[in-house]
Amino acid sequence: MITVHVQYFAILREQRGLTQEKLATDAATTAALYAELRARHQFTLPADRIRAAVNDELVAAAAPLADGDRIVFIPPVAGG
Amino acid sequence: MSFRISGESLDPAALQRALADRRAGACVSFEGWVRDRNDGQPVASLEYEAYAPLAEKEGARILAEAREKFAVLGTACVHRVGHLQLGELAVWVGVTAEHRGAAFDACRYIIDEAKARVPIWKKEHYAGGASAWINCATRGDHAPDTAGPIG
């Protein structure tokens, strides 16, 4: 079990009802953590439309998680 | 030059002055404005939110790519966050170059890549009181990059 820090933006922030939280998880990868959180909080966006960043860098789907990581799940972007 | 997220309204004249360069024969800028409709729906206002640390990194990468691809001298881009009203300036891109061709091309490259890649989100507030996060309700696309979606 590791403890990670998750920050939420946009539609995920609204669906979670929080801007950030610290949580303990058995998830070994960003994909596993998103699946866990999606099931718990009924996030509408499927994993194939979400990117992940760990410690402010974009990472691959199966990026491993380490204790203390800062994670952001990135919904489809829409700047401009 | 920089990519910046701003919570304050943008001043295009000041942004352009910061690019002043005697070697430049061309300055091309792009302004993205808050429009009163989208996909046929009347829009009342727009709310922008950014994951600023990554947005500024990704934005800086886009500006660096533009400087590699095109013969430009200066590049800059600033994107607003917060609740914007109709007609407000949401994003400003400026490019200087010796000649106009490279300046136009680089400006187009920067705004297109920024829209596709930078972690900024837009919520439309409609005249009737409803609202929606753009690209999050129906199946949309991420621009390809090395990271890829997580699922």
Question: Residue B112 to residues A11, A56, A76, B117: CA-CA distances in angstroms?
Answer: 23, 22, 15, 9
Domain that holds residue B65: 3-128
Number of domains in chain B: 1
Q: Which residues in chain A have their CB less than 8 angstroms from residue B148's CB?
A: 51, 60-61
Phi, psi (5° rounding) for residue B79?
-120, 135
* pLDDT values of chain A reduced to their tens digit, one per residue, 80 residues: 999 999 999 999 999 999 999 999 999 999 999 999 999 999 999 999 999 999 999 999 889 999 999 999 999 999 99
Residues near A72 by beta carbon (within 8 Å), at least 6 away in sequence = A6, A7, A8, A9, A52, A53, A56, B51, B54, B119
What is the CATH number for B22? 3.90.1170.40
CA distance B113 to chain A (A): 10
**φ, ψ of residue B133 in degrees (nearest 5):** -80, 125
The closest alpha carbon to B150, from A72, A25, A67, belongs to A72
Residue B33 lies in a domain: yes
Q: Cα distance from A10 to chain B (closest Cα, Å)?
A: 6
Helices (H) and strands (E) in chain A, counts: 2, 5
Contact B114, B91 (CB under 8 A): yes
Its domain, for residue A54, covers 2-74
The answer to whether the Cβ–Cβ distance between A80 and B57 falls below 8 Å is no
Q: Give the helix/strand (H/E) hosting B3.
A: strand B3-6
Tell me the chain A residues in contact with residue B49 when contact means C-beta distances shorter than 8 Å: 9-10, 13
B149 and A49: CB-CB below 8 Å? yes
Complex confidence, ipTM: 0.95
Number of domains within chain A:
1
